[in-house]
Amino acid sequence: MDFDVVVVGSGVVGLFVTHELVRRGFSVAVVDRYLEPGWGVSKRHAGVIHVIQLPFSAYKSRLMRRGNKMYPAICKWLGVECREVPALLVVDKWWKIPLVFVACLYLRLNGVDCSVCLRCAEYRRDFNFATAVVVRGYKVVDSFGLIYRLYDVLRATGVHFYLGCEVRSFAEDGDGVVVETSCGALRGRYLVNAAGLYADELAKKAGIDVEIKPGKGVMAIFHGREIGAIIAPLTLQPHPRTKGGAVIPTIYGTVLFGPNLVDATSKGDFETDPENFNLLVEKFSRYVKDFDKLTPVKIFAGNRPLSPTGDVMIKTGRRSVHIIGTESPIFTGAPALAQDVVKILEEMGMEKREPTELPPPEPIKKCGRVVCPCRGVTECEIREAVRRGSRTLDGVMYRFGIGMGLCQGSRCLAEILKIISEELGVEPGKVTKFGGGSWLVLS
């Protein structure tokens, strides 16, 4: 066999599964239709490590609670910013205060560290509300940095990445699997399907009849102040597919509203409109003091793979493991889910091995002139990003968080494009934003 395991999908789940396999000495190939790692569901993420996911009995909730505890060590190992922040579940009317005590009691009975904050003086500078349940353990993380640094670690350990390669079919027998891709055939002893929105299409090729529907979440970014907590309205009837969004601080010093949950016309539907933006503002602006002083800088949407059961599903074929319905909390639960996938592979016959620690990613040195003043990114860093595999403008910008501030990259985009073209040895007109027909310069 060419590889011990072929992993389909380079999002946060696929990368953590690969990490657990490499820690045990297995050879892995990662295949993804996108040109960069984490460009599927993981690309459009709020950057929150969650504490609460209802119902508490659900598998996704258990994964999330395990994964939350793992992230501080993971982020320290990768050198990724991860900041713990309280989450305030608020009511805006004094007559709703009894609801706060009931909610906190329920959360405590389910192991959540929380307390009731009546006057909440320490949060009055940023927020407007009557009272709140303060939930501890939430974190905001540099999700792009996490994905790219984990990718760097895996590349350095010898993982073969086949990015920009779409899986066309696969066949499994008693000895292994053969995966036909647009870049050629790959052979492995086992296959792990971590294809996110498209996991159902690959599962059907193994005879597993399942269908994933996309659920679109719209988010808006505002610039002008930093806040020290997540704030969300407390409700007794949360939507079964989402906690309803929140006001969220980001590690870039901006404020995020959302995500909500609206119907998606297809798995590739990332459209937004003024109505979505206005609904987010109407829902959340009331909680933010001096909201009129904030400047909206971006509205975007992500699609989450809604499970047909409302919970994460793991299905197995003869030589394959299929991860279905990784809804919004799975970024938090991904490290724990990866451990469970390895156990399933061991039950299928894969040799059981003890994990070892992998070396941290080689840091990218800052040197040369500063190209992105907002994020302090230097020319050397941009060139090294290309040498580590990035071939597109978005691939470089997401790695360093370029374009996340007020100017949205307008001051440095042209210079970054020029540096990428120099490193690739092509004309600027050959460099795209995210592949395909996303041309930036007409030759």
Structure confidence at residue 238 (pLDDT): 55
Structure confidence at residue 101 (pLDDT): 95
Residue 250 sits in the same domain as residue 102: yes
Position 195 in a domain: yes
Q: What percent of the chain has pLDDT over 90?
A: 76
Residue 244 sits in the same domain as residue 203: no
Residue 130 sits in the same domain as residue 229: yes
The residue among 264, 281, 301 that closes a domain is 301
Q: Write out the two tokens for 218.
A: 């719209």
Structure confidence at residue 438 (pLDDT): 80
The string of pLDDT tens digits covering residues 394-430 is: 999 999 988 887 788 888 888 999 999 999 999 988 8
Structure confidence at residue 239 (pLDDT): 52
Residue 285 sits in the same domain as residue 312: no
CATH label of the domain that carries residue 294: 3.30.9.10
Q: Is the pTM of this model over 0.85?
A: yes
Q: Write out the two tokens for 10.
A: 């380079």
The string of pLDDT tens digits covering residues 88-137 is: 999 988 899 999 999 999 999 999 999 999 888 889 888 989 899 999 99
Q: How many domains does the chain have?
A: 3
Residue 392 sits in the same domain as residue 270: no
Q: Write out the two tokens for 376.
A: 């302090």
Position 415 in a domain: yes
Position 67 in a domain: no
pLDDT band at 328 (very low <50, low <70, confident <90, very high): confident
Report the DSSP beta bridge partners of residue 170.
179
The residue among 301, 320, 335 that closes a domain is 301
3-state secondary structure of 213: strand
Question: Average pLDDT of 301-318?
Answer: 93
The string of pLDDT tens digits covering residues 348-357 is: 999 999 999 9
Residue 182 sits in the same domain as residue 315: yes
pLDDT band at 434 (very low <50, low <70, confident <90, very high): confident
Question: Average pLDDT of 290-302?
Answer: 93
What is the DSSP pairing of strand 184-193 with strand 3-8? Answer: parallel
Q: Quote the Cα angle for 380-386-389, to 5°.
A: 140
Residue 126 sits in the same domain as residue 232: yes
Mean pLDDT of the chain: 92
What crossing angle do the helices spanning 413-424 and 393-400 adopt, rounded to 10°? 120
- What is the greatest pairwise CA distance in the chain? 66
Structure confidence at residue 14 (pLDDT): 98
What is the DSSP pairing of strand 184-193 with strand 177-181? Answer: antiparallel
Question: Average pLDDT of 179-197?
Answer: 96
Residue 45 has pLDDT above 60, yes or no: yes
pLDDT band at 156 (very low <50, low <70, confident <90, very high): very high
Residue 119 sits in the same domain as residue 244: yes
Reference 14, options 439, 399, 335, 301; nearest CA is: 335
Position 359 in a domain: no
Structure confidence at residue 154 (pLDDT): 98
> What counts of helices (H) and strands (E) characterise the chain?
10, 22
Residue 292 sits in the same domain as residue 325: no
Structure confidence at residue 236 (pLDDT): 61
Give, as one character, the DSSP assignment of residue 216. E
For residues 257 and 278, give the distance between their C-alpha atoms in angstroms, rounded to a whole number.
11
Q: For residue 242, give its domain range.
A: 87-136+214-301
Residue 285 sits in the same domain as residue 326: no
Position 362 in a domain: no
Position 70 in a domain: no
In order, the DSSP letters of 48-68 are EE-S--SSTTSHHHHHHHHHH
Question: Average pLDDT of 202-227?
Answer: 92
Question: Average pLDDT of 201-230?
Answer: 92
Structure confidence at residue 410 (pLDDT): 80
Structure confidence at residue 237 (pLDDT): 58
Burial 417-443 (b: 16+ CB within 10 A, else e): bebbbebeeeebeebbbbbeeeeeeee
Residue 281 sits in the same domain as residue 426: no
Residue 315 sits in the same domain as residue 169: yes
CATH label of the domain that carries residue 24: 3.50.50.60
Position 166 in a domain: yes
Position 93 in a domain: yes
Question: Average pLDDT of 362-371?
Answer: 92
For residues 47 and 300, give the distance between their C-alpha atoms in angstroms, rounded to a whole number.
14
The string of pLDDT tens digits covering residues 216-265 is: 999 999 999 899 999 999 976 555 445 578 999 999 999 999 998 888 88
For residues 49 and 61, give the distance between their C-alpha atoms in angstroms, rounded to a whole number.
12
Structure confidence at residue 126 (pLDDT): 87
CATH label of the domain that carries residue 412: 1.10.10.1100
